[in-house]
Amino acid sequence: MDDNSSWVQLKVECAARDVDTVSSVMSMVDNGLMIEDNSDIDDLIRHGMYGELIDESLLEADRTKAAVSVFIPAVKSPAESELFIRQRLTDLGISFTLTHSGIREEDWADSWKQYYKPIRTGKRLVIVPVWETYDPEPGEITVLMDPGMAFGTGTHETTRLCAGFVEEYTKPGCSVLDVGCGSGILAIAASRLGAGKCFACDIDPVAVRVAKENTELNHTDNVTCVVSDLLKQAERTEGGYDLIVANIVADIIIRLAPDVGDYLAPDGVFVVSGIIAERAEEVLGVLRSCGYAVMDEHYENGWYAAALKKA
């Protein structure tokens, strides 16, 4: 890092017991992590290792706390990475504090906007930031996005993979359930593609507020957004949803797997994303045990997404 101004440090402070989970989430952004965990100092001292070399401040440090940092090039939209980390840790129910440094606070909110341009996902769908002007080509369908403080702009592989499946499996008049909706991008995309009823939910009230604002931007009145811990407040629909999407993380998809079938139509499609490639087989093993079979799957830059049906 020869130029500090060109890098942003994202630092998550958490309980020491959660450091492995936090590290796993942050490694989805970048593998170069810096971990500060004082919980093993006592063991080192007890075994006579480094005791006389340990700084006094470390001896006095709180053993119950830890921190994990990742360093993001400013040109790679660190604010998007922050939103991703925030939403994934919130989904996992982890208590944390996230701070950033390396960029002026007054520049933070808008620093990434210069790198967020219209993005094509699939064959027809184009995600357009609200501050950009875009003239769609014949046949293209645009979705306006102002992500605010919610993850989901279309720049991240997980969202692009999921949006591609949404375009493929959204049929005119179908019903769609988006679990962990973030900015609302997937439910809104389904609506713009011709879906009838769209229901979007997220555990984060800020994400739900942003999703509602984005539905207004796109005039998608058939998208309902509510705060819900996974499916607890999800609205049921007669016969089940034709398409359910979950762009979350592997652990949450595993937790969701046994219950999602109660909301899925008999011939419905369940799309999962937000899965690092190394955990794809683990997630698929759970889904198969719940009666699902893979129809289609894609990998991109170490990420995995799949479309499944009841076997």
Question: What is the C-alpha radius of gyration for the chain, rounded to an integer number of angstroms?
Answer: 21
Pair of tokens at residue 109: 């909110």
**pLDDT at residue number 8:** 82
Domain-by-domain residue ranges, the chain?
4-111, 116-310
* Average predicted confidence (pLDDT) for the chain: 83
pLDDT tens by residue, 254-282: 999 999 999 999 999 999 998 888 899 99
Fold of 4-111: Alpha-Beta Plaits (3.30.70)
pLDDT tens by residue, 226-239: 999 889 888 888 89
Of the candidates 249, 234, 255, the one whose C-alpha atom is nearest the C-alpha of residue 175 is: 234
**pLDDT at residue number 121:** 85
Of the candidates 152, 79, 71, the one whose C-alpha atom is nearest the C-alpha of residue 110 is: 79
Q: How many CA atoms lie within 13 A of 114 on its CB side?
A: 6
**pLDDT at residue number 49:** 42
H helix and E strand count, the chain: 10, 14
142 with 218: CB under 8 angstroms? no
pLDDT at 174 over 90: yes
Least confident of 29-33, 136-140, 145-149, 240-244: 145-149
Strand-pair partners of 275: 304
**pLDDT at residue number 42:** 57
12 with 98: CB under 8 angstroms? yes
Reduced 3-state DSSP string for 194-227: CCCCEEEEECCHHHHHHHHHHHHHCCCCCEEEEE
pLDDT tens by residue, 68-120: 988 877 666 677 788 788 878 887 888 999 988 876 555 555 655 666 778 88
308 with 243: CB under 8 angstroms? no
**pLDDT at residue number 44:** 47
**What does the pLDDT average to over 127-148?**
86
pLDDT at 48 over 60: no
Q: Return the H-helix or E-strand segment holding 37.
A: strand 33-37
Strands 292-300 and 241-247: unpaired
266 with 242: CB under 8 angstroms? no
Of the candidates 162, 119, 154, 186, the one whose C-alpha atom is nearest the C-alpha of residue 275 is: 162
CB atoms within 10 A of CB 122: 17
**pLDDT at residue number 1:** 40
Least confident of 3-12, 183-192, 263-272: 3-12
**pLDDT at residue number 2:** 41
Say yes or no: domain 116-310 is CATH 3.40.50.150.
yes
Pair of tokens at residue 223: 């998208």
Name the band, by pLDDT with cuts 50, 70 and 90, for residue 291.
very high
**pLDDT at residue number 84:** 82
Least confident of 118-127, 154-163, 202-211, 232-241: 154-163
Of the candidates 150, 154, 151, 160, the one whose C-alpha atom is nearest the C-alpha of residue 129 is: 154
Q: Return the H-helix or E-strand segment holding 58.
A: helix 56-59
Pair of tokens at residue 297: 């799957």
pLDDT at 192 over 90: yes
Max avg pLDDT among 112-116, 135-139, 304-308: 304-308
* Positive/negative CA dihedral, 97, 98, 103, 105: negative
Q: How far is CA 31 from the centre of its chain?
A: 17
The pTM of the whole model exceeds 0.75: no
CB atoms within 10 A of CB 234: 22
**What does the pLDDT average to over 159-188?**
93
Inter-helix orientation angle 185-192/205-217, to 10°? 30
